[in-house]
Chains A and B, each alone.
Chain A
Amino acid sequence: MSKKIAALLLKLLLAAAGFFAVTFTVYFFNLDMKLTSKIEPFLLRHYDKMERNTSL
């Protein structure tokens, strides 16, 4: 039983460490913003193509 708990704790610890390693890398190297800055031009092109009810 204690071995099972220890194995579970180890898995949780590894998962937490993996989560931290990935997210901290994204955070520190600003990868989130570098990615979204690449998405923006596609969105702008999409908005340009939309039909709009333009009126004063």
Chain B
Amino acid sequence: MIRQENWKRQGDQQLGVLFDDGKVRRRREWRGVKDTLYDYGRWLGIMKILATFIAKPRNVKAMFRYRWMANYLAVPHMVDKFTMGLRDEALRIVHTSMDFVVYDVAKTMDNVFRGDRKTGNDKAFSDKCVLTDENAMTAFMMGFPTLKAILREVPTMFVANLLTQYSTTHYLDVAQQFGIPGDVCPMPEAEAGISIEDDFPVLGACAVQVNTTCDGSLMGNGIIAKRLEREYGIPTFQLVAPMRHREADVQDYAAGDIKQAIAFIEEHTDEKWDWKNYFECAKRVNEATRTRLAWLDINATDYPQFVGAPFSLYNDTNYMGNCGRSPDFPLVDAKILKYAETGCTEKRMMAPEYRHRAIIWGVQPQYCIDMLNWMVHCWGIVPLTDMLSLVNTKMIAEEDTPENREQAYYDMAWLNENMIMRNRTHGGYRVLVDELWEFCEQLHADMVIMWEHMSCKALDGMHGQFEEQAREKGIHLVWVCHDLCDPRVYTRQAIRDQLNVYMRTVLREEPLDPSIEFLPDENAW
């Protein structure tokens, strides 16, 4: 346990004062003069991003056309959830990462509506777009600098559920009215519902779908591809990554499939693969990998800095959605690293004591992902990193040589196989179970918070092995059940209560901040 005797949070001490039973917080947090003014300045920045976005008529039109757009009324509220209780470097790290994610999503949405047939309808622009599965590494777009990779499920479903907890429920009902069972993963099911209700923007010269997540995702993709191809005439390629991705004998097949995906995009967009651009992107992928490892090194010390949901969400955006294609990310990476190094040197803490160091495993509840920040303040549990952020650590070829051009297909395939989440949920026992204990050792974790997504079949079979091995290794294993993005099945408090019960009954501990042990946020955004 790490404890700083003279630690005192500037400003509000009891964070429960911010909550009532309403949709939004009672007021914003008082963080002392310096940090409140910093947070206020960042809030102004977010307001500027939103004002710039909504100033365009096509985006206003989209606001009235698409139901999921209503969730974007809650953007500042989402940022407040991730910054709750934070001061100093931790506050700056979360704002630097999450504000950039807000900017990046706003830019994506602006592009989406520019090409969308129902709103902006810029056909020339749309012809230079490739619809890319949200669960795809965008590695196969690294050699197409003049094309836009459009991940339309990201703003419609993924981000929407971070913004407001009930964002998917309407679409789940739509899908289930069409006979899709209620016990599949609500993420692809909601995406299927969006497609069924014709609430996806339609654009692009072609589309690429992937098999990287699960059976539920394949079901959703089938429904979406049918509408894309037969109704809107957008040809769709199926990029199929092998399941046993650590095996050497599947790599030739995986590289071959990447070649075919590139050929498919060239055929439908009249663009040619650009090796110079590819290797520039590859350099940035390696740079991002090195920075991510540096953040994790800091988190292995007594004073972790870049932790929890912002680590995971920023990494999702950078590693998968960006994949080296934007020159903006390395600048943000460097800024975050600088804050993290300073915070570690200055021995900054987010709470008066760190009682437990936790690794977060399994798939997170999207509508309650800020629980990781809550854990620090309520129980002194530091979420060091999570399964979705423990992705590729290998350097890929970055010099343009004839040999590396052939190697590049294998590197792109490797990245695609190691998409976030699936690099652990697929590939066998070692990547899911054995390596968890190795990460616990590397990061000096004494606890694993095990998200158990009740509609996910991928992790269910390993339940017994996790329990048995955690007991042998003396690691606290806390199962936290949820339903990913359907809060009607598990409310946020029902999710938090599982940890509360473990902390009180098994560990016999009292909360650091009792005012947030129970939060009246069932009706909140």
Q: Which residues of A contact B (CB under 8 A)?
A: 23-24, 27-30, 32-34, 36-37, 39-40, 43-44, 46-47, 52-56
Cross-chain contact of B196 among A23, A30, A46, A54 (Cβ < 8 A):
A54
Contacts of A37 in B (CB 8 A): 22-24, 73-74, 525
Structural contact, B24 and A44, CB atoms closer than 8 A: no
Q: How distant is the Cα of A22 from the Cα of B227 in the complex, in angstroms?
A: 48
Structural contact, A33 and B25, CB atoms closer than 8 A: yes
CB distance from B317 to the nearest CB of A (A): 24
Structural contact, B196 and A29, CB atoms closer than 8 A: no
What number of B residues sit within 8 Å (CB to CB) of A?
32
CB distance from B231 to the nearest CB of A (A): 8
B106 at the interface (CB under 8 A from A): no
Q: Which of B24, B174, B223, B231 has the most CB of A within 10 A?
A: B24
Assuming the contacts A23-B44, A37-B525, A55-B196, asked whether A30 and B27 have C-beta atoms less than 8 A apart, the reply is yes
Contacts of B23 in A (CB 8 A): 33, 37, 40
Q: Which residues of B contact A (CB under 8 A)?
A: 22-28, 30, 36, 40, 43-44, 47, 63-64, 67, 70, 73-74, 76-77, 174, 178, 196-199, 223, 226-227, 231, 525
Of the A-B pairs whose beta carbons lie under 8 Å apart in the complex, a sample of 16, sorted by A's number, is A27-B40, A28-B27, A28-B40, A30-B27, A32-B47, A33-B23, A33-B25, A33-B74, A34-B24, A39-B73, A40-B23, A46-B64, A52-B197, A54-B174, A54-B196, A56-B178
Nearest B residue to A33 by beta-carbon distance? B24
Q: Which of A24, A33, A40 has the most CB of B within 10 A?
A: A33
Is the contact region of chain B dominated by helix, strand, or loop, or is it mixed?
helix
CB distance from A29 to the nearest CB of B (A): 5
CB distance from B510 to the nearest CB of A (A): 30
CB distance from B221 to the nearest CB of A (A): 14
Structural contact, B76 and A32, CB atoms closer than 8 A: yes
Q: How distant is the Cα of A29 from the Cα of B76 in the complex, in angstroms?
A: 13
Q: How distant is the Cα of A56 from the Cα of B198 in the complex, in angstroms?
A: 9
Contacts of A47 in B (CB 8 A): 67, 70
Structural contact, A56 and B40, CB atoms closer than 8 A: no
Q: How distant is the Cα of A23 from the Cα of B40 in the complex, in angstroms?
A: 9
Structural contact, A24 and B47, CB atoms closer than 8 A: no
Structural contact, A30 and B67, CB atoms closer than 8 A: no
Structural contact, A40 and B67, CB atoms closer than 8 A: no
CB distance from B495 to the nearest CB of A (A): 23
Nearest B residue to A43 by beta-carbon distance? B70
Q: How distant is the Cα of A31 from the Cα of B82 in the complex, in angstroms?
A: 19
Contacts of B231 in A (CB 8 A): 55
Structural contact, A30 and B28, CB atoms closer than 8 A: yes
